[in-house]
Amino acid sequence: MPTEITITTLYAALLGYGFGSIPFGLILAKLAGKGDIRQQGSGNIGATNVLRTGSKELAAATLLLDLLKGFVPVFLAKLWFPEDMGWTALFAVLGHCFPVWLAFKGGKGVATNAGVAFGMLWPLGAIYAATWLGLLAITRISSLAGMAAVVATAIAAWFMDVRTFAIVMTLIAVLVLWLHRENIKRLMAGTEPKVGQK
């Protein structure tokens, strides 16, 4: 992730943002006749809120597509402009969290960041998935599992001595934690809902 901004940097950022900003949760919910997901549950466009519509299949499809919109642009950037791949990764998550199509009000970046991690380096993706799924199975608290996965992967990237990926994952971790600030308050108060709860 070089500090010098070039035309390739712009392409890399646009690639990531373009994919990341596709609101799959909103689109799928509307196509399935579930209405505007932003008017339901937490108002989030991610898989956890889609699950609150009562459709596990719809939530699973949202999760997969949100993951792919992080993985695909990073994978393409690795082929087309590897030196600027970090920008693609960062902007894929920014696109999901702040999509221009939805007045910059999107999701919280957990699933898209999982895809980014797999796209950058598969061991990072494996650490992300193991932390996320493992903690989710134990606690059934989606926000806690997601935040733990983001932080664990950022730490792992520094230990693996992949500086570019470590910087990107650290920046994303800070963003994801900030977007989860209300969840953190509820976790501290013991009122954070578990998966499947309204």
Query: Rounded to an integer, what distance in angstroms lies between the CA atom of residue 179 and that of residue 46?
Result: 13
27-64 pLDDT, tens digit each: 888 888 877 888 877 777 877 778 777 778 888 998 99
- In angstroms, rounded to a whole number, what is the distance separating the alpha carbons of residues 178 and 82? 29
Domain-by-domain residue ranges, the chain? Answer: 7-21+67-189
* Identity of the amino acid at 139: T
pLDDT the model gives residue 144: 93
Stretch 131-151: mean pLDDT = 92
- What average pLDDT does the structure give for the chain? 89
Work out whether the CA dihedral 72, 178, 189, 52 comes out positive or negative.
negative
- Give me 180's structure tokens: 């989860």
Tokens of 146: 């997601």
Residue carrying structure tokens 């230990």: 159
pLDDT at 193: 82
pLDDT for res 1: 56
Q: Which of 14-18, 21-25, 52-56 has the lowest average pLDDT? A: 52-56
